[in-house]
Structure formats: C-alpha cells, structure tokens
C-alpha cells in the first residue's frame, strides 16, 4: 500500500512540491526553467493536467489503459495522472469504440477528442482531472499488452520477487513514479544549493581502482594483466581527498558506490551517495552546510526542517539509547539504576557491579501490561539472550502501584519507590532490567527498546509519529575499536583517514584506544543517513595510523601518502546516503522502493538474472579459471 502521507499525491501522479516551478499554459511564453511536459512530443497535454478551463478544446493524449468498462469509457494513465475517456456510442464512430473496447488493459494508445465537463453529480473530487472527461473522436493502438503477471495497481499485493522480475511493469505504479520523481527533484535542488549557491564543483571520480584497506569488502574486477585486478571503490574517499590536494577546494558528486556485503537486510551492493568534500573547514562548518542543504532541498509538503539539528555524543547515545543511531521520536530511554541497586542483596547485580565497566540499567515500556502478551515479553527476553548473550528480567506495575517481580522480595520499600521514580513507572507499565558489562547491557536494552516499540504499535498504540522527522548529529566517536575477531587488535571506527579529536592528539601515540575522532554521523528517525569526518592531512600522522595502530601495509596507499606531502590543505567532508534519505521521506518500507532497478535481498538482479556464468573462453583473456564441476553443480541447484 502507498504511504498514507502520499495517497493524495499519488492520485495526481507527479509530486507537487512546494518549490516546484509552475508550468506555463500551453502556447504562452515559457518562463526560464519552467517545465513543459509537452514540448518535443506529439501530444497536446498529459493525462494529469486537463481541467475545466480546457473544456471545448481538442486534445491529443498518449498513455496506458488503466481501466475500462463495458465499452462506455476507459481511464488513460501517463506519468502525470489519469484522464477519463468517453467512448463514442454512435454508429459513425463504431470502429473507434470497438478498437478501444477490445484493447487489453495496459495497452499503449493515442486518443484525440474534445474536453467536456462531466455531467452534474458525476465529478470525481479524488482526481485532479475529476471535473472533466475527453470524448474520443479518433484513436490508435500503439502497442497491445499481453496477459500481465500482476495488476498495475498500488493496492494489489504482489511478492517482491515478482515485482523485481518484472520491474519495468512495477515502475508504472503511481507509488514508484512518485518516489523516483521526488528523488530526481530533491537531487536537482541539492545540485543548485551546492554548485550554484556555494561554489562546489561536480567531479566524477573513477569506479575502477585498486583494493584498499579498511571498511566494507570491495568487488574485484579482472583485468587482462595476469593476476591483476581492479576494485570497485566502496566510496570516492581517496579521490575526493586527492581533489583537495589538487586545489579544487569544494567537491561534490552524486556518487555510485559498491560494497560486497552479501545478503544484509535492506542493503544494496550498488547504491548512491551525495558525496561532499571541502578544504579549510572544521566539523561545525560541515554540519552547517548539510543542515542548509537539507533545508533547501526538503519537500515543503513534509513540513519545515528546523536548524540547527540537536547534537549528542557517541557515549550519550549509547548510554541513553543503546545505539549510535538513536530514534528520538519517542521516549523509553535507558536509565542507569546502578546506584539504587548497589545496596541490594541481589547476587547477579552485585556480580555485575564488581567489574570495572559493570552496570545495571533498565527501560520502562508504557502500558506494557495492556498492549503486550506474556509471549511478547518472553520473546523480548529471548532476543536479548540470543543476540547479546544478556539476561533480562521484567517487572510489572500492578493496579495498586506495587511492583510484581522475582526481585521485589530482595528490595526494600524505599528501593522500590526509588526505582519507580527513576524510571517514572506508572500503573500497567513493564520494566526490563539488565545487569552486566556497560556496552553489552546498553546494546541489548537499545535493541529491546525498538522491538518493544514495534510490538506496542502493532497492538494499536501510537508511539512514533510517521509524519515527524527528527534529525540528530552524533559526534565524538572513538577513533578506533577492538576487532570483533581479535579484540587485541584495533580497527578504524569510521575509516583510516579520520583525524583524531584535537584534544586527544597526544593519546594517539600513547593510548590510541582512548582517542576520540572528528567523525560525525547524521541520524534521521533512528537511521544513519550520513557520515563524515575531518581528515588526516599530515602524511606522517597518516602513516603512523596505518602502520603502527592498524598494522596495515601503507604501501597500498603510497599514492595518497605521497600526495599529503605536497602541501595538502586541512579538509573534511561527508556522504549522505541518498537511497536511505529518500526512503524515509516517502515512508517506503525498503530502499528498494526508491531505486529504479534494485537488487534482491541476496544481491541478485531477478529481471536480467545477474550475476551469471561465463564460459571458459570468455574468461581466458583474464587469465582466470573456474572450478567448472562446482559451477555446474551450482547451476543445477538454481
């Protein structure tokens, strides 16, 4: 189903954005930059623009047959909307009636006729063209449509696999038309803001490069030189830094990026970023730029964007929300209750608090007794156990205001009261409590906070306003994190080119685990939509990070290190995830709904059946051999 916020717009087709230039009347002098949808083509009008002012005019429309009824009328659709077409009933035009009556739905037709007012009482206020109809005089079937694999209607449910197999049919839906056109207009506004108003230069960077350390896995592309491969860069990171060394000063690109991350939920192997880099800038400057960019390009119908955006440190985000991308549209924050329970005789609490980073924290689920079933609570506790190896206990506030829990007999009345005040517990609320290592406890409760919100809303509680957009900067990330597979080694929290916080520069050489970075993320409604940093512009510092801290072979990045020695300016930048941003604006359940030709969950193109096998003869110029028995076995499986 289309998002409720855009249903009204979908009926009209083309999104009407507050900053959209008005289209001039046909025949009038076009204002500079005004859209004329009927220039260069044979039609006189689109199917979405006819109104009462056009009554009496002869028009020619082109489009797809959306609907037809008993040889009386049909509805014609194009990218901009719908127009009702009345079929002639007189004998002189019987061939026209027969032609259009027999045409299958979704056939492409041309009709010419006279615009008329609909009979009184038959107007359709839900259609922008609902006051008129076109009485057809001549028609032509330009291309007949064979039997469809699914109906081209937004309210008809179809599997995502089928939609992607026939993506060219799915693209005809009003929802996807709306999404793609809105995306196009937002990108155009971003270009205006960056290039025309602030002097950025749009530069295309290569997509064939070489493998570089750190970050997500990169796709390899074979070359004709034996044993040598290109790599598809996961972002233009190095190139935009080199552009700063080259004196470009302000770079911008709608950048295609690639990551070989396999089957990860709502991710794509190829995706688009709004990529930005500036010289002589600090973190505050980048943040002001992005706030202005979003304010300028934001669709007016979505409400005003208020700046400056609030900011929160990484540690604050983890402690209060259990994640570095907090959804601040609702409460249920994580509360530290260590001091309250420190005096208790609860053994697992005392065990947790005996460790250096030990803590006891809790979240309060409002009206959890009314909206959640016992199986829901058990599911939440099992989720914490399976995902985070974290035990969670629940407490329920009875109608008399007392707490029901296995822990209450170990807590005095005063402690129970303190606990309820700290968590603001009301009748029928449910408390989830966890004790253990700080980060694990926070992460587990942060995950349960979101799962609980989903359960509450599924049960009918209005918790997160679907029309609200809460932006948030998260700053002061650690520069390095222990590797999951080997905690004794470090990896970059962002990427290896991120500069340390100026106050922590000395710690880089003495205790890198304590260094904060000049890395900043932009979060919208609990989703990371952008990330960037101030870069290391000193070659020696960059070499130290690569070789001494990350234990990487700096020779792979010798071109960048050498460039930094030739008078590299201080610089920084950011990349906005365009697909994620647009999906949040339109309320799409997946980023695949705002990409014209996306890949499946497993990274496959179901329409063109890619990736596909190639023959040994095709591989020969690349000096590659494949274990063909294995390949043939896989082919049989598929």
Both 419 and 497 in one domain: the answer is no
- Nearest-angstrom CA–CA distance, 141 and 192: 41
Q: What is the pLDDT of residue 527?
A: 97
**CA separation for the pair 587, 594 (Å, rounded):** 10
Evaluate if residue 70 carries a pLDDT over 50: yes
CATH number at residue 244: 3.30.930.10
% of the chain residues with pLDDT over 70 = 92
Query: Are 523 and 487 within one domain?
Result: yes
- Which among 402, 435, 459 is the end of a domain? 459
Phi, psi of 249 (to 5 degrees): 80, -50
Both structure tokens of 470 = 């809460």
CATH number where 427 lies: 3.30.1360.30
Q: Would you give the DSSP letter of residue 408?
A: G
In a domain, 210, yes or no: yes
Instruction: Provide the 10 A C-beta neighbour count for residue 193.
Output: 19
Residues 577 and 490 occupy one common structural domain:
yes
Residue 268 lies in a domain: yes
End-to-end Cα separation, the chain, in angstroms: 31
Q: What integer is the mean pLDDT of 119-130? A: 95
Pull the structure tokens for residue 509.
Answer: 């050489």
Establish how many alpha carbons lie within 13 A of residue 113's alpha carbon, considering only the half-sphere containing its beta carbon.
29
User: Is the pLDDT score of 148 beyond 70?
Assistant: yes
Residues 480 and 443 in one domain: no
Distance of CA 291 to the CA centre of its chain: 18
What sign has the CA pseudo-torsion 182, 184, 187, 193? negative
Can you tell me the distance from the alpha carbon of 392 to that of 352, in angstroms, rounded to the nearest whole number?
Answer: 13
- Chosen domain end from 96, 123, 143: 143
Distance CA 359, CA 337 (A): 8
Average pLDDT (581-608) is: 94
122, 143, 164: which is the final residue of a domain? Answer: 143
| 3-state SS record for 17-86 | CCCCCCCCCCCCCCCCCCCCCCCCCCCCCCCCCCCHHHCCCEEEEEEEEEEEECCCEEEEEECCEEEEEE
Residue 22's pLDDT band (cuts 50, 70, 90):
very low
* Helices within 354-476 (DSSP H only): 368-371, 374-388, 413-423, 438-458
360 with 478, same domain: the answer is no
- 222 within some domain: yes
Residue 9 banded pLDDT, cuts 50, 70, 90: very low
Q: What is the pLDDT of residue 637?
A: 55
Dist CA 98 CA 96 (whole Å): 5
**Portion of the chain with pLDDT greater than 90, in percent:** 82
Average pLDDT over residues 260-274: 85
Q: Lowest mean pLDDT: which of 379-393, 395-409, 452-466, 551-565?
A: 395-409
Is the previous residue joined to 611 through a cis bond, with omega within 30 degrees of 0? yes
* pLDDT at 40 (0 to 100): 95
In a domain, 339, yes or no: yes
Q: How far is residue 286's CA from residue 274's CA, in Å, rounded to a whole number?
A: 13
Query: 60-95: b or e for each residue (b if 16 or more CB lie within 10 Å)?
Result: bbbbbbbebeeeebbbbbbbbbbbbbbbbeeeebee
pLDDT at 635 (0 to 100): 53
- Do residues 183 and 308 share a domain? yes
pLDDT, residue 24, reads 36
Distance of CA 155 to the CA centre of its chain: 23
pLDDT at site 1? 40
Backbone φ and ψ of 634, nearest 5°: -65, -40
**Mean of pLDDT values over 64-93:** 95
Mean predicted lDDT score pLDDT of the chain: 91
Sheet of 335-336, strand order: 335-336, 358-365, 430-437, 393-397, 403-404
The verdict on 78 and 127 lying in the same domain is: yes
Per the domain annotation, does 638 fall within a domain? Answer: no
Cα–Cα dist 491/484, whole Å: 9
Is 26 part of a structural domain of the chain? no
Task: Report whether 148 contacts 107 (CB < 8 A).
Answer: no
- In the prediction, which pLDDT does 628 show? 64
pLDDT tens readout for residues 497-545 = 999 999 999 999 999 999 999 999 999 999 999 999 999 999 999 999 9
pLDDT of 439? 96
Same domain membership, residue 215 and residue 264: yes
Q: Given this model, what pLDDT does residue 213 score? A: 72
pLDDT of 347 > 80? The answer is: yes
Q: What is the mean pLDDT of the segment spanning 284-290?
A: 98
Length of the chain: 638
In whole angstroms, what is the distance from residue 176 CA to residue 318 CA?
A: 36
Q: Helices (DSSP H) in 155-236: which residue ranges?
A: 160-165, 167-170, 174-191, 198
Question: Which position has the token pair 């997500």?
Answer: 216
The predicted-structure confidence for 199-216, as pLDDT tens digits, reads as follows 999 999 999 999 877 667
- pTM for the model stands at 0.91
Q: What is the pLDDT of residues 295-320, one digit of tens each?
A: 999 999 999 999 999 999 999 999 99
Contact criterion met (CB below 8 Å) for 521 and 474: yes
pLDDT in tens, 166-202: 999 999 999 999 999 999 999 999 999 999 999 999 9
Give the distance from CA 549 to its chain's centroid.
Answer: 33
Q: What is the span of the domain harbouring residue 371?
A: 330-459
Q: Are 61 and 107 in the same domain?
A: yes
Contacts of 37 (CB under 8 A, 6+ apart): 23, 46, 49, 80
Q: Which two tokens stand for residue 429?
A: 């609320």
Q: Is 635 within a domain? A: no
Residue 4 sits at φ, ψ, to 5 deg, of: -55, -30
CA 338 to chain centre: 37
Q: What is the dihedral of CA 499, 503, 509, 515, to 10 degrees?
A: -70
**Domain CATH code at residue 121:** 2.40.50.140
pLDDT value for 343:
84
* Domain contains 537: yes
For residues 165 and 186, what is the distance between their CA atoms, to the nearest angstrom? 28
Q: Rounding to the nearest 10 degrees, give the CA dihedral for residues 260, 179, 589, 305.
A: 100
Same domain? 508 vs 589: yes
The Cα 592–Cα 34 span in angstroms is 31
Q: Catalogue the long-range contacts made by 92-98 (C-beta closer than 8 Å, 24 or more residues apart).
A: 93/136, 93/137, 96/136, 96/137, 96/138, 96/139, 97/71
Whether residues 337 and 387 share a domain: the answer is yes
Two tokens at 132? Answer: 């008129």
> What confidence category does residue 18 fall into, taking pLDDT thresholds of 50, 70 and 90?
very low
**184 and 285, same domain (yes or no):** yes
Binned at pLDDT 50, 70 and 90, residue 16 comes out as very low
How many distinct structural domains can be found in the chain? 3
**Confidence bin at 636 (pLDDT 50/70/90):** low
| Tokens (6 digits) for 326 | 């907090």
């Amino acid at each position: 189903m289309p998002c409720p916020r855009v249903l009204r717009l979908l009926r009209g087709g083309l999104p009407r954005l507050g900053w959209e230039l008005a289209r001039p009347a046909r025949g009038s002098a076009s204002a500079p930059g005004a859209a004329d949808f009927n220039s260069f083509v044979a039609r006189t009008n689109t199917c979405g623009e006819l109104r009462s002012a056009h009554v009496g005019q002869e028009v020619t429309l082109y489009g797809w047959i959306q609907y037809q009824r008993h040889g009386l009328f049909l509805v014609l659709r194009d990218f901009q909307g719908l127009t009702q077409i009345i079929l002639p009933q007189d004998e002189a035009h019987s061939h026209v009636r027969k032609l259009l009556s027999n045409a299958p739905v979704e056939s492409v037709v041309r009709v010419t006729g006279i615009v008329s007012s609909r009979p009184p009482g038959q107007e359709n206020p839900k259609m922008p063209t609902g006051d008129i109809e076109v009485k057809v005089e001549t028609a032509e079937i330009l291309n007949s449509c064979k039997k469809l694999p699914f109906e081209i209607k937004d309210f008809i449910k179809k599997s995502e696999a089928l939609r992607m197999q026939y993506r060219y049919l799915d693209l005809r839906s009003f929802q996807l038309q709306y999404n793609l056109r809105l995306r196009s207009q937002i990108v155009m506004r971003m270009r205006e803001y960056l290039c025309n108003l602030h002097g950025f230069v749009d530069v295309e960077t290569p997509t064939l490069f070489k493998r570089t350390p750190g970050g997500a896995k990169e796709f390899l592309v074979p070359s004709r030189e034996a044993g040598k491969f290109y790599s598809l860069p996961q972002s233009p990171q190095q190139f935009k830094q080199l552009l700063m060394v080259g004196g470009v000063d302000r770079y911008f690109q709608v950048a295609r990026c690639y990551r070989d991350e396999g089957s990860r939920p709502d991710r794509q192997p190829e995706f688009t970023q709004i990529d930005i880099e500036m010289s002589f800038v600090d973190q505050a400057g980048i943040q002001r730029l992005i706030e202005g960019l979003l304010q300028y390009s934001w669709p007016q119908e979505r409400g005003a964007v208020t700046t400056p955006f609030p900011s929160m440190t990484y540690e604050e985000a983890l402690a209060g929300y259990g994640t570095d991308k907090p959804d601040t549209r609702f409460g249920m924050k994580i509360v530290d209750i260590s001091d309250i329970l420190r005096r208790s005789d609860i053994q697992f609490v005392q065990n947790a608090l005996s460790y250096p980073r030990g803590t006891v924290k809790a979240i309060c689920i409002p009206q959890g007794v009314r909206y959640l079933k016992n199986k829901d609570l058990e599911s939440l506790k099992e989720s914490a156990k399976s995902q985070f190896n974290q035990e969670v206990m629940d407490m329920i506030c009875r109608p008399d205001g007392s707490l029901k829990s296995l822990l209450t007999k170990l807590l005095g009345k005063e402690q129970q009261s303190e606990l309820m005040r700290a968590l603001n517990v009301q009748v029928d609320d449910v408390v989830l409590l966890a004790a253990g290592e700080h980060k694990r406890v926070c992460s587990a409760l942060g995950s349960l906070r979101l799962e609980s919100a989903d359960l509450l809303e599924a049960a009918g509680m209005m918790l997160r306003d679907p029309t609200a957009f809460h932006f948030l900067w998260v700053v002061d990330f650690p520069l390095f994190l222990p590797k999951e597979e080997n905690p004794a080694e470090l990896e970059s929290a962002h990427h290896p080119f991120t500069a340390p916080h100026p106050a922590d520069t000395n710690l880089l050489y003495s205790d890198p685990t304590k260094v904060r970075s000049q890395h900043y993320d932009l979060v919208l409604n609990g989703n990371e939509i952008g990330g960037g940093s101030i870069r290391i512009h000193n070659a020696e510092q960059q070499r130290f990070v690569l070789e001494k801290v990350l234990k990487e072979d700096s020779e792979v990045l010798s071109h960048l290190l050498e460039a930094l020695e030739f008078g590299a300016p201080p610089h920084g930048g950011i990349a906005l995830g365009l697909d994620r941003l647009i999906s949040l604006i339109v309320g799409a359940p997946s980023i695949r709904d705002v990409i014209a030709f996306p890949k499946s969950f497993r990274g496959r193109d179901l329409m063109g059946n890619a990736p596909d096998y190639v023959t040994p003869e095709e591989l020969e110029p690349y000096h590659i051999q494949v274990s063909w028995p294995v390949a043939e076995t896989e082919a049989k499986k598929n």
